[in-house]
Structure 1
Amino acid sequence: MAVYAFQCVEHGPVDVRFPIGTAPPTSSCPRCGAAMRRLFSPPALRLSSRALVAAIERDERSRTDPEVVTAIPARAGRPARATHPAQQRLPRP
């Protein structure tokens, strides 16, 4: 479902949901029933975080130019030992 903007003479702009591509040029106002004309506006775009945009771009780039790994990555160090005695008795992975 997509949200389309319509203009009512009495109530101003009203958002109405229709399946994508099926919005008519006119619709009736949900409050007063008067005919409303459809407003054309740019799509609602949200800005994403830089980390998300970088991940999406890296994913798209890997389709045609994948990164080749020549060696196994170094193993991460063990986490620091727990200092509380109760935590030291917990099983370790």
Structure 2
Amino acid sequence: MSMPLYEYRCAECGPFDVSVSMSEVRPVTACPVCTAESPRAVTAPRLGRGPTAAMRILESTARTASEPAVVSGAVPGRPRTPPRPVTTDPRHRMLPRP
């Protein structure tokens, strides 16, 4: 099970992420670079970033909207269109072809 990421902002070093459980998150933490106290930033939730099967399906579905797969055959379940009828009348061979 993955832990949520929380963003903190150091006044000198800038933003950094901390991964802790929801019960252990604090409003202020030490910066990993300069050890100054850094307040927690209010950011948008980071949803949809997980290795679960449901997330992989959602990501592949979203990806097909912008990158459709190449179709190499007929649609499954639909009958193929019948070919044009072939004539056996020899006079038809003398007609001009398109």
Q: Which TM-score applies when normalising by structure 2? A: 0.46
Q: Which TM-score applies when normalising by structure 1? A: 0.48
